[in-house]
Amino acid sequence: MSIRQELLSVIERLNNEQLSALLDLALSFNNGEKPVNPAVESQAYQDWVSSENDIYDEVFADELTAR
């Protein structure tokens, strides 16, 4: 099945709210806009992955030293 056919098949099963979100995304692609992932661009995520947040290093210390 081609990507286009698969997408059309999925679209047929979406409700109006989901179709609205998909339409917004498709229009942004059509306008050449960069897709936005709110979770990745949120301040909470940015704080979590910042170099000041060392919990990641503490949790995965064994993995980091093994490399």
Give the 3-state DSSP-derived string for the chain, with helices as H, strands as E and coil as C.
Answer: CCHHHHHHHHHHCCCHHHHHHHHHHHHHHHCCCCCCCHHHHCHHHHHHHCCCCCHHHHHCHHHHHHC
Under-50 pLDDT residues of the chain:
none
The structure's pTM equals: 0.48
pLDDT of amino acid 13: 96
